[in-house]
Amino acid sequence: MNIPLSGTAGENNKYGTSLDPAQGPAVQETIPGEGAKPGTVFNMDEFMRRNCGDLELARDVAAIFIDYRREYTASIRNAVAAGDDVELRRAAHKLRGAAINIALPLLAETAGAIESVAVAGDLGKAGQLLPELELQFERGVEAIRELLLAPLEKGTDH
């Protein structure tokens, strides 16, 4: 399978991902904020596109993401508290990927910032980012519930 790369080998793309073929294939991913207004908490159009327009599937995926919210934040908090930059990078990367797939650009950006400072070994900065992470997570969950799950909870669909 040929995966098109943007940029040249040895460079980083705009998300800080290496484009060096020796480090493995670079996959160009769609960031959920692209095409959305700046400051968009939840890009419903992107999320529905990622779920093939299937509202029931989108609701199931969103509900699973919300169910794992405490696990995501706890693993990041625990890694910061333990001073474990490797585990922090892994946990932040996992949350960043989930946030991208759920189309929560601000949460993905914050998790990406924590991942970057973990790579740099700056656990103090990571600790400073935790309140922002929790804020963006809460805002994202609230937006999902309002735009995607609320009609279901009320017994109606869009």
pLDDT, one tens digit per residue, over 77-115 is 999 999 999 999 999 999 999 999 999 999 999 999 999
Whether 87 and 118 map to the same domain: the answer is yes
Contact 126, 91 (CB under 8 A): no
Whether 128 and 100 map to the same domain: the answer is yes
Whether 112 and 49 map to the same domain: the answer is yes
Whether 143 and 80 map to the same domain: the answer is yes
pLDDT tier at 150, thresholds 50, 70, 90: confident
Q: Which of 117, 83, 111 is nearest to 99 (CA)?
A: 111
Whether 113 and 61 map to the same domain: the answer is yes
Dihedral-angle region of residue 7 (phi above 0 means left; psi in -120 to 50 means alpha; beta otherwise): left
Whether 35 and 23 map to the same domain: the answer is no
Q: Which helix (H) or strand (E) holds 43?
A: none
Q: Which of residues 125 and 1 earns the better pLDDT score? A: 125
For residue 34, what is the DSSP state?
Answer: T
Domain extent for 1: 1-29
Count of domains observed in the chain: 2
Please check whether residue 158 lies inside any domain of the structure.
no
Alpha-carbon gap, residue 158 to 146, rounded angstroms: 12
Q: Which of residues 59 and 19 earns the better pLDDT score? A: 59
pLDDT at 35: 52
The predicted-structure confidence for 24-56, as pLDDT tens digits, reads as follows 333 333 444 455 567 889 999 999 999 999 999
Alpha-carbon gap, residue 106 to 70, rounded angstroms: 18
Whether 53 and 130 map to the same domain: the answer is yes
Please check whether residue 69 lies inside any domain of the structure.
yes
Whether 117 and 49 map to the same domain: the answer is yes
Q: Is 14 helix (H, G, I), strand (E, B) or coil?
A: coil
Whether 59 and 120 map to the same domain: the answer is yes
Whether 75 and 16 map to the same domain: the answer is no
Q: Is the pLDDT of residue 135 over 80?
A: yes
Please check whether residue 25 lies inside any domain of the structure.
yes
- The distance in angstroms from the start CA to the end CA of the chain is 38
pLDDT at 147: 86
Contact 149, 59 (CB under 8 A): yes
How many other C-beta atoms lie within 10 A of the C-beta of residue 113? 17
